[in-house]
A = this chain, B = another copy of it.
Amino acid sequence: MAIQRRDILEAAQRIVATYGLADLTMRRLATELGVQASAIYWHVPNKQSLLAELADDLLGRVPEPSPRRRWDRQVEQLATGLRTTLLGQRDGAEIVSASRASSLDTSHLGKRIVEIVEAGGHPHARAVASRDALLHFVIGFTFDEQSHTTMVEHGAAPTRFGDSDASFTAALAIVIDGIRA
């Protein structure tokens, strides 16, 4: 039976969930699926494309905000939803960071942030800058949280004191105040 693109994506997600992103190779993917590497290359030409597919899938899972809420609350919901989605996949922030140079600005999520900020009465250039500030902050923050988790697992760092959710909320409020300003 021929493998489908969806099978490849799911196998890649299982490998990352179990072993981490560093262990995701095209070879390991072929072994996991029990096929020749050539069967994979037909769907996904290289690791960079695979990362882009994983990132698109993750970003696509961020819930759409409630349209009845005020624009700044919608932006807050998107940012919080992005962090929760990234934390739900091992090395999620690294996957998005590694692939975003090619796709994030043009992602559905990036476009939605620009639309919502514009709908709040801001000019396009400011909406674009708001998207950049917001996405880099959320992904950077979550990358740090996930790196720390990995380091603790490897015994390379002590468990951090403090409430990560509260730190995120407080720093996100600063960025959103800036968008509103």
Tell me the A residues contacting B by CB distance below 8 Å: 46, 48, 97-98, 100-102, 104, 125-126, 128-130, 132-133, 135-137, 139-141, 143-145, 147-148, 151, 156-157, 160, 167, 170-181
Contacts and interface: CB of A to CB of B under 8 A. Distances in A.
Contact of A157 (B102, B157, B160, B176): B102
Contact of A170 (B125, B135, B145): B125
Contacts of A171: 129-130, 132-133, 136
Tell me the dominant secondary structure on chain A's binding face. Answer: helix
Contacts of A151: 48, 101-102
Of listed A135, A144, A172, residue having the most chain B CB within 10 A:
A144
Contacts of A100: 144, 147
A170 B132 contact: yes
A145 to B, nearest CB: 8
B136 A101 contact: no
A48 B171 CA distance: 27
